[in-house]
Chain A
Amino acid sequence: MSAKQILMGLNGDESVAYATKQVNPDIVAAYPITPQTIIVEKYSEYVADGEVDSEFVAVESEHSALSSCVGASAAGARAFTATAANGLALMWEITFIASGLRLPIVMAIVNRSVGGPINIHNDHSDSMGARDSGWIQIHCENSQEVYDASITAWRMAEHPDVLLPVMVCLDGFTLSHTMENVLTLPDKVVSDFVGEREFITVEGHMGETELRLNPEVPLTFGPVDLQDYYFEHKLHQIEAMKQAFKVIPEIDAEYAKVSGRSYDLLHPYRMEDAEVALLGLGSTMGTVRHTVDQLRDEGVKAGLVKMRVFRPFPSSELVDALKDIPAVGVLDKSLSLGAPGGPLYEETKAALYHLPKKPLIANYIHGLGGRDTGPQLIRGVFESLLEIKDKGEVGDPMNYVGARP
């Protein structure tokens, strides 16, 4: 039975801050950067007003923010940080360390384009740049999803079969600075749901002990790990990502029981008999849903698949959702300059490659540097897909939606 909830007016950043306040992590170490700033401002207020027990570490850079979280998390603390764009770029080195040392840190990424040229607005170039670092990535469509993911992320990260850090990604300004209605759970329901951090036991050099720093039974975190062992430790991370496929839906199902809101790795919409479909991440998918409804009213068999969890990449669910669709468009809000296409497009094609009969697939790069992608542009994308379906061939798969040629 779901708990009684309070409707609040929150923007995306405030949703992160409010959910994190309810989680009450041991430390928050963060450096403000547009458009993540509100998270840091709000959380420092909570700390100053004594509403949380968290230690707020006012660091001098993002590199130090994540490094502080690494140290705290290794010591057994719940550690939270948040950043965007060039801030995440400055953390890049430490993102691999957090994951490699298996530290369940939660970080909000308020997606913003990585300069230059300098730009403070939304695209996915920041989190896509960190896609190989071993973090789970959850992409949110609206502030409600941001609130919910900011709670469930802790359980996913800390699950004994996973132990990987999690990025909760929300689109800068589109979500971060736009107030929406958000249903919030009572504090106690959240604290009961996240519970206390649990630790697995490992065999260290002083014998069996919990996987955390403890002066009574010392462990060494982050030693030099060369040709003879590094590869095996990477196998551990590969296995953890596999386990995450199983664990994430379990935690989402448990959360659905208390919140009444259910989530999945992928969210297909009106896909049953679809002839053209769009796959994408984040807030754009709300606009796509609106357009799909309009097109359906006009008799066009359009559908969409929203990918909520991008890491681990849900290949088999994606194959099930797309295998019978004649023409599929992949919306990428970032570039991989010099590559065959955007990252989501490339991985989607790789996932479908082994099918004997494959959909026709085209890539639609959109929204770079915050370029608005309204319903008219999405309608144009569906028209392009209908043309591909009728012709039976893709031609040039690369399309730059809303850019002036």
Chain B
Amino acid sequence: MSTRKPGSKELPIGAVVTKSSMEYETGDWGVEKPQIDLEKCTQCTLCHYFCPEGAITVNDDGYPEVQNNYCKGCGICAEECPVKCIEMVRMK
């Protein structure tokens, strides 16, 4: 994270945003990540709908996938999963 940030002369005025929110990766914020046991998953997709960051997508087979670049590790998915197939695992 030691990249040089732009100085005032390089920044646009008015504090307008210079990059898309897609480029603000928030995945390094949290300390835990969800790990989904696909054997137990019933494809209900509640985790996808409950995720406040939109960081759980649903793949073509109908299973949830965690986008770790954006997941902040809040644990809502694990809390809401009706079959308790999501475990929050501490990141190394």
Contacts and interface: CB of A to CB of B under 8 A. Distances in A.
Classify chain B: how many residues form its interface, as a range.
Answer: 10 to 19
B2 interface: no
B13 A232 contact: no
Contact of A229 (B5, B13, B20): B5
A240 B7 CA distance: 16
B18 interface: yes
Contacts of A202: 12-14, 16
Contacts of B11: 229, 232-233, 236
B92 interface: no
A229 B14 CA distance: 12
A222 interface: yes
A163 B13 contact: yes
B17 interface: yes
B19 interface: yes
Given A228-B5, A229-B5, A204 B18 contact: yes
Which DSSP category, helix, strand, loop or mixed, fits chain B's interface?
Answer: loop
A205 interface: yes
B20 A102 contact: no
B48 to A, nearest CB: 26
Interface range on chain A: under 10, 10 to 19, 20 to 34, or 35 or more? 20 to 34
B18 A205 contact: yes
A101 B15 CA distance: 6
Given A101-B14, A200-B13, A211-B14, A205 B7 contact: no
Contact residues of A: prevailing secondary structure: loop
B73 to A, nearest CB: 20
Interface string A180-210: 0000000000000000000010111110000
Given A229-B5, A232-B7, A233-B8, A100 B18 contact: no
B9 to A, nearest CB: 9
A163 B7 contact: no
A233 B20 contact: no
A204 B15 contact: no
Contacts of B14: 101-103, 163, 202, 211, 221
A103 to B, nearest CB: 8
Contact of B8 (A103, A220, A236): A236
Give the residue among B7, B8, B13, B18 with the most A Cβ atoms within 10 A.
B13
Contacts of A320: none
A235 B17 contact: no
Nearest to A238: B8
Contacts of A221: 14-16
Interface in A209-263: 211, 219-223, 225, 228-230, 232-233, 235-236, 239-240
B15 A229 contact: yes
A304 to B, nearest CB: 38
A219 B8 contact: no
Contacts of B20: 205-206
A204 B16 contact: yes
A232 B14 CA distance: 11
Q: Which of B8, B11, B16, B19 is packed against the most chain A CB atoms within 10 Å?
A: B16
Nearest to B15: A233
A210 to B, nearest CB: 11
A220 B17 contact: yes
Nearest to A160: B13
B14 to A, nearest CB: 4
Nearest to A209: B16
A100 B13 contact: no
Question: 9 tightest CB-CB pairs across the interface, nearest first?
Answer: A202-B12, A220-B17, A232-B8, A235-B8, A102-B14, A233-B15, A205-B20, A236-B13, A219-B16
Given A205-B19, A221-B15, A228-B5, 9 more contacts: A202-B14, A202-B16, A220-B16, A223-B15, A223-B16, A225-B15, A229-B11, A232-B11, A236-B8
27 contacts: A102-B14, A163-B14, A200-B13, A202-B13, A202-B16, A203-B12, A205-B17, A205-B19, A211-B14, A211-B16, A219-B16, A219-B17, A220-B16, A221-B15, A221-B16, A222-B15, A223-B15, A225-B15, A228-B5, A229-B11, A229-B15, A230-B15, A232-B6, A233-B11, A233-B15, A236-B11, A239-B8
